[in-house]
Every structure is written in C-alpha cells, then in structure tokens.
Amino acid sequence: MNKAVEELAAVENISVHGLGKLGSVVAGTLASRGFNVIGVDVSAISVEKVARREAPVLEPGLQELFDLSEGRIGATLDGREAVLASDASLLVVPTPSDGDGSYSLRFALNACSEIGRALREKDGYHLVVMKSTVLPGACEGELIPRLEQESGKRCGEDFGFVYNPEFIALGNVVRNLLYPDMVLVGASDEVAARLVEGIYERVLETEPPLEHMNIVNAELAKLAVNTYVTMKITYANSLARLCEKLPGGDVDVVTRALGRDTRIGAKYLKGGLGFGGPCFPRDNRALLFQARKLGAPFQLAEATDATNEDPARHVAHMACDAVGEGGRVAVLGLSYKPDTPVVERSQGVFVAKLLKQSGLEVTVYDPMALEGARAELGDGFKYAESSDAAIEGKDAVVLATPWPEFAKLGYQAEQVVFDCWGVLTREQAPGLVRLGVGPGR
Ligand SMILES: NC(=O)c1ccc[n+]([C@@H]2O[C@H](COP(=O)([O-])OP(=O)(O)OC[C@H]3O[C@@H](n4cnc5c(N)ncnc54)[C@H](O)[C@@H]3O)[C@@H](O)[C@H]2O)c1
C-alpha cells in the first residue's frame, strides 16, 4: 500500500458537489453525523443558502439536519477549494436524460474535470464517490479517465473511485438515507471500498447489508432495482384494470394477498396511477436504451414503459364520460407523490392535461406543488387555494395523489369521485369510483 493511502485511515472532511434534491440532504446527513462538509454548486443561490445552513430544497427533516450541523457545514462555488480542503468528494450532480433514453454526462464530466485539476495540486490519497445515476460503463469509460487525465494521477493508487448510488423517494429522503435496505458499493479497489464503509458506519441508523461489487455491476444494479419496482407498479395497475372488468373484483384485496408472499413483497404493489418523478420513468428508459444497444432484449422494461400512462388515460376517459361536455372537474394532487413539490412526470398533471384537451373545465389543487404545476400547465386551468375550494361545485373529482388531507374532505353526494389510490370509503364520498374495483362491489 502506498504511503498516501496509509495516511488516510478514515474520511473526516467531505466535499459534496451538487446541492440539489439529493446532494443537499446527503450533505446535511453527513454534517449532522459529525463530518466536516463543504458543499459545492454552480448555483450561487444554493451555495449561499447552504453556507447559512438554510435548506436549499423543500424536503422534510432537512432543515433540522442543518440546524444540528453548526460549524460543520459550509459551501462554495469553488470546487478546487473544496477538494483541497477534503479527503473525499461526492458527486451528486444532474445526469439529465437525453432524447434516446441515455443519461447525459456533461455535468458529471465538468465536475470530474474540476475535481481532477484540484487533485493535480493535492498531495495524498483522495476518494471520489459518484452518487448520480449513470449508465453501466459510464464511470470506467468516461468519468475515471477524465479524473486521471486532469489530475495526472492513477485511479486505484493515488485516488479511489466508488459508484455508490442512493435509493430514495423525495419527501422521504432523510429517512431513506439513514435506514436503507442495502448499500451498493461498486469500488475501484479495497481501500476505496473500506473508506466508504467507514462513512456509512457513522451515518446509518441500522446495519443493512453492504453489497460490494465492481463498478459496472453497481451501475447496473441501481437501474435494475428501480426498473424492477416500476414493473411491480405496472403489474398492480394491470391487475386493477382486470379487476374492473371482473364482477366482484377488487384490486386492493388481491394485491394485499399477493404482497404477503415473501417472494413478492407488499411495497409498490397497489393498483393506482402510473409512476412518475425524476427517477423511475427515466431509469426504466435508460435500462431499455442500454439493453437495445447491447442487443439484449428486455421486453418487461419495454412493456412497463409503454403502458405506464394507461391508468391516467383510463381515469381521464371515465371522468369525461361521467360529466359530459363542458363538465367541471377538480384534480387533487399534482406532485408525483405526496410530501414533495416535484411535478416531474406527474400523473396528476397528465390527467389534468387530458381532461382539458377533452374540453372540460379543470380546477387543480395540491398542498405543495401548485407553483410547479402552474409552470407545467400554464393558463387555461383554474388554480384553487385549498382542497375544499377545489371540489366545491364540481361534477367530478379525481384524487391523483394520496395526500392524507384529501381523505378528510366533505364530498357532495352528487359528485363522482375517482379515487385512484383507495383512500376513501363510500360513506365519505357517496359518488365514489375506486379504480380497480369491478361491478357488484
Ligand atoms: N432526486 C431523486 O429522487 C434522486 C434519487 C436517486 C438518484 N438521483 C440522482 O442523483 C443525481 C442528482 O439528482 P438531484 O435530484 O439531486 O438533482 P438536482 O437537479 O436537484 O440537483 C443537482 C445540483 O447539481 C448542481 N450542479 C450542476 N453541475 C454542477 C457542478 N459541475 N458542480 C457542482 N454542482 C453542480 C446543480 O446546480 C443542482 O443544484 C441525478 O443523477 C439523479 O438521477 C436522484
């Protein structure tokens, strides 16, 4: 082992490059656990907020982590300064989807250039951890070569590289980071893997399995987990459509039993709308892109992608039929899931657009995502100030996201209420239509 490696027995000082929806929470979690963290972003606003220990994104529990981190978290626009002051650099920068389904590495390569240039000036071992989602082969094919080229140093000797993604759902990020089901560690070498393990030992509230592997398998495993979950969602949604045609059928009863089987498991197995958000849809497409490129057919991912929007089209169709021409409909729930303002690929927004295209008067409401939805939907929709105001006087209501407050509203007897997630009873909404429930129930 070379001397530089011996000197770095454990990581104490960490730079986090990218202070967005994931990176800011990673930074807050590490600082709250005693690491010295310096955040880096190209956005001056995010840097200023983090430097003031102010959460730069809306995420439950994040501000509390920052409050616990006095003296241990700072932020800068200067990546060089941050790398020189740290033992490890975590990359949590965007990897936006390209039109063909692959991920663009432009932000990640920029960050690697900056880190690499700083490493050229730095003595001693440094750990680089990639957390952003990439296609299998991206780290060894492009990111590590860029770091080596800019630093003039060798991966596995002068610096270590680990692909170490997180499995999080917005609205639940703090908990997901502290209590993961497992930790994926795709490392260039043993030293790098051990240093990452040391970080997790100080952060985690549980002792989940650490899955050690090479980098390419870790890249694929990240995509495989997410695409398997999307397949489960699609399976439950297909069952829901079948149940609707089946006299006495009820998808909730069937999926409850299905989920008890330990080979299957209950999570994400509930008939409702399709999946949305910044990860699931694009991870599924990225796996498809990779499979096609390699000539390895992946029809399950193909079908998952092709049918994901069917439930939204179905509920929009039923709502149009129920209210007739010129009818008034409220869509409640515009974020892609509860507890987040994110509307990216949101099924609620999609339903609202379909209803509007059919000529209906559409009022929308969401407790957190109204501004984001306004940017997505534009004029032509009515934006309600509250859920009560949204449903008042409407012929039909679509519950597109299961925010708890929607289960407490006073629905009128004559309103048709399309409950996409099974949160209401007929006593609460006499005009209830639960998706996935067949005739006679
Ligand atoms: N958000 C999620 O639910 C989630 C879940 C799992 C994985 N991921 C992955 O994590 C990565 C980041 O996602 P996110 O949702 O946090 O993105 P985000 O867009 O919310 O944040 C990314 C941040 O990186 C900054 N940035 C861009 N270039 C930079 C550079 N060169 N140096 C420093 N900062 C830079 C941006 O200004 C932004 O603040 C993506 O690859 C995403 O797929 C996200």
pLDDT digits (tens, 9 = 90+) for 52-94: 999 999 999 999 999 999 999 999 999 999 999 999 999 999 9
How many Cα atoms sit within 13 Å of 345 on the Cβ side?
15
Q: Is residue 59 part of a domain?
A: yes
Residue 98 has pLDDT above 80, yes or no: yes
> For the segment 109-165, what is each residue's pLDDT rounded down to a tens digit?
999 999 999 999 999 999 999 999 999 999 999 999 999 999 999 999 999 999 999
Question: Final residue of a domain: which of 189, 213, 237?
Answer: 213
Residue identified by tokens 């952003």 is 132
> For the segment 167-206, what is each residue's pLDDT rounded down to a tens digit?
999 999 999 999 999 999 999 999 999 999 999 999 999 9
- Apex 56 CA angle, 225 and 31, nearest 5: 75
Q: Is residue 388 part of a domain?
A: yes
Q: Closest ligand 1 atom, CA of 282?
A: 43
Instruction: Compute CA distances 370 → 61, 240, 308, 351, 382, whole Å.
Output: 21, 29, 23, 15, 11
Our count of domains for the chain comes to: 2
Q: Model pTM?
A: 0.94
Residues 353-369 have a mean pLDDT of 97
φ and ψ of 382, to 5 deg: -95, 135
Question: Final residue of a domain: which of 178, 213, 248?
Answer: 213
Catalytic residue among 112, 279, 320, 420: 279
Q: Is residue 253 part of a domain?
A: no
For residues 381 and 315, the answer to whether their CB atoms sit within 8 Å is no
Q: Which amino acid is at 407?
A: A
What is the rounded CA–CA span in Å between residue 82 and residue 203? Answer: 21
Instruction: Compute CA distances 313 → 4, 96, 199, 278, 355, whole Å.
Output: 59, 26, 45, 21, 9
Domain residues for the domain of 76 are 3-213
Q: Closest ligand 1 atom, CA of 43?
A: 37
35 and 145 both lie in a single domain = yes
Question: Final residue of a domain: which of 190, 213, 236?
Answer: 213
Question: Residues lining ligand 1, judged by CB closer than 6 Å?
Answer: 17-23, 40-43, 46, 79, 92-95, 107, 110-111, 132-133, 165-166, 168, 170, 278-279
